[in-house]
Amino acid sequence: MINGLPGRMASLLAYAISVRDGFQVIHESLTGPDTTQKYFEDSIRLHKPTFHEAVLKKLASDFRDSLIAIDFTHPDGIMKNTQLYCENRIPFIMGTTGGKRNELFRIVEESEIPAVISPNMSAPIVMLMDMFEYAADNYPGAIHGWEIRIVESHQAGKKDVSGTAIAVGEILKLMGVKYSLENIRSVRDAIEQRLMGIPADALGGHGWHEYSLVSPDGNVQLRFKHNVNGRSTYVDGTLMALDFLAVKKEQGFKGVCFSMTDVIRG
């Protein structure tokens, strides 16, 4: 079940899964309040929030243990969607950023299903974040008191702050780095993005991040970048997560919230 149609990520996933073996895209999708009722050659019905609860209850009954949901809906809906997936025992992958992450994890851990929740579905970027976590665990005092400055740029349609930027900031905060949401600057203006070097054909779908770590006296700076044009890396990572979650479901995992780090390690 691909939720978030006709959004771009959900649309790419609907196509990618429809042409690969092992899974079948069902003809129902949860969507937002202001969208049309049909998608993909009129074959997928889009259900607005008023009907989400009834739709999931029916699908859980119709498909029993064979249904997995992939969620790329709006950030405002992910808390309610997570609750509904868990109530109806539908394992799910949450690629939408936003929401109260600790609360999402708690809801899954108190449920009867496994899930994959990640602010970033790209395997190479998750690998980089895992390297930051390794540094936080093994070099806890190396950059204590430093400041992190983050610039992130995404397409204009992305309304929230990058979940990846927030996650990296929180990891570095464990090393004693000075960090808050005020340390993140979000760029959504097309002119500024072009001046940054983002290709014109990527303005509608990209994720550029730059992290600058500055010593207390300002004399030392470490800088890291990861720039993504398009969405193919997120599609590939979500497909990895789908294969991973299907196996964990068959193995009987319940009440376990996996991350993309678990996916790439597994």
Q: If we measure between CA atoms, which residue out of 53, 71, 52 comes closest to residue 13?
A: 71
Choose the catalytic residue: 154, 206, 209, 248: 154
* Cα 174 from Cα 166, distance rounded (Å): 13
Say if residues 110 and 255 touch (Cβ distance below 8 Å).
yes
* Cα 86 from Cα 79, distance rounded (Å): 11
Say if residues 217 and 195 touch (Cβ distance below 8 Å).
no
Cis peptide before 49 (omega within 30 of 0): no
- Residue 158 annotated as catalytic: yes
Choose the catalytic residue: 158, 178, 226, 254: 158
The Cβ of residue 214 has, within 10 Å, a number of other Cβ atoms equal to 18
Residues belonging to the active site: 154, 158
